[in-house]
Chain A
Amino acid sequence: MGLLALFRRSPPSAHVAKERLRIIVQQERNARGGGPDYLPLLRRELLEVIRKYVNVDPAAVQINVEREDGQEVLEFSVALPEKAR
């Protein structure tokens, strides 16, 4: 067990802090107008369309706007329920 523990060192806490902050800061920036203001409506309408075909959970639809190198990427993902596949 002692030997295994050597290999299974948990990541340094600073690394965990950075990852948590990266996610929450991005989310909060989007929420306070970092993203276009049509996002909530777009999300709702997309959800309605998808639900015509697949009965997904509202939380299964994620929309995000990310900025990278001056480009804006609208990222959107739907997690399908098990049976639909």
Chain B
Amino acid sequence: MTEIIVVTSGKGGVGKTTTSASLACGLARRGKKVAVIDFDIGLRNLDLIMGCERRVVYDFVNVIQGECTLRQALIKDKRLDTLYVLAASQTRDKEALSSEGVRRVFDELTADGFDFIVADSPAGIEKGAHLAMYFADRAVVVVNPEVSSVRDSDRILGLLSSKTLRAEQNNGQVKEHLLLTRYSPKRVATGEMMSVGDVKEILGLDVVGVVPESADVLAASNAGIPVILNEDSDVSRAYEDAVARLLGETVPLRFVDEPKRGFFARMFGG
């Protein structure tokens, strides 16, 4: 069975594409057959983060409009055998996507035996974001511990519970997960940043991952190597944990405490 995971947030710049790339790699590294799709039509970026920008011949819109086959447009990752990237179109606008077209692509991936489809949503709440979440079974809501990001993600939660196929057909909820990025245990300890517990309490979501703020993220995007593949990085370990949790494993949270001052653990309510 194919599971469709949308990576979404509402607000831009919080780490959706970084997260999509890393989760897709992590799932593929565990032997799952994964397609990661860029829904940000007109502002293609996933290809850069995945490091396959020079191999894009056909894109998502070409497939939807019947200008090529899905097989021609899927870019096979050079590092992981079971990972495929579907790039966004750089020249069209988001109106080129249609719900019928997206469904056809998802159906074909399902028939092809893919285990996971990771939909990298654009920022905002318009058509691209809507279609990225519409068919989802699960949502990874990427949030920075910061007021505007938290508020926007709550708006997205509202849409997930009303404007998705599952909601419309009364077919159970889209399963929602919280993934915090740019988390700084040090600043949480000094009271300058909301804690995992705070954000969890406000949004009422399960935490699937906490990714620490790190220079490794920029280094990874500079190089076009998803950060989860950088074995020396805490960010990689944090995403690896998130992948494990998505697959149903119970893994304790790491990188949420400042190492030296253990008593701050008290500050994390949950």
Contact = CB atoms under 8 A, between A and B. Distances in A.
B159 to A, nearest CB: 9
Contacts of A8: none
Nearest to B202: A21
By DSSP majority rule, is chain A's interface helix, strand, loop, or mixed? helix
B191 A14 contact: yes
Interface string B158-186: 10001000000000000000000000000
A14 B150 CA distance: 13
Given A14-B193, A14-B195, A14-B198, A21 B188 contact: no
B192 interface: yes
Given A14-B194, A17-B198, A21-B151, 11 more contacts: A12-B191, A12-B192, A13-B191, A14-B193, A18-B198, A21-B194, A22-B201, A25-B203, A28-B155, A29-B154, A33-B158
A2 B112 CA distance: 71
Contacts of A33: 158, 162
A24 B188 contact: no
Task: Give the interface size bracket for A toward B.
Answer: 10 to 19
Residue from A12, A13, A17 whose CB has the most chain B CB atoms within 10 Å? A17
B151 A24 contact: yes
8 contacts: A12-B192, A14-B198, A17-B194, A17-B198, A21-B150, A25-B150, A25-B154, A28-B155
Interface of A: 11-15, 17-18, 20-22, 24-25, 28-29, 32-33
B190 interface: yes
A37 B193 CA distance: 36
Interface residues of B, number: 20
Interface of B: 145-147, 150-151, 154-155, 158, 162, 188, 190-195, 198, 201-203
A14 B147 contact: no
Nearest to A32: B158
A12 to B, nearest CB: 2
Contacts of B145: 14
Nearest to A18: B198
A53 to B, nearest CB: 38
Contacts of B193: 14
Contacts of B202: 18, 21-22, 25
Given A22-B202, A25-B154, A28-B155, A17 B147 contact: yes
Contacts of B147: 17, 20-21
Contacts of A25: 150-151, 154, 202-203
A28 B147 CA distance: 14
Contacts of A21: 147, 150-151, 194, 202
Given A20-B147, A21-B147, A22-B202, A15 B154 contact: no
A49 to B, nearest CB: 32
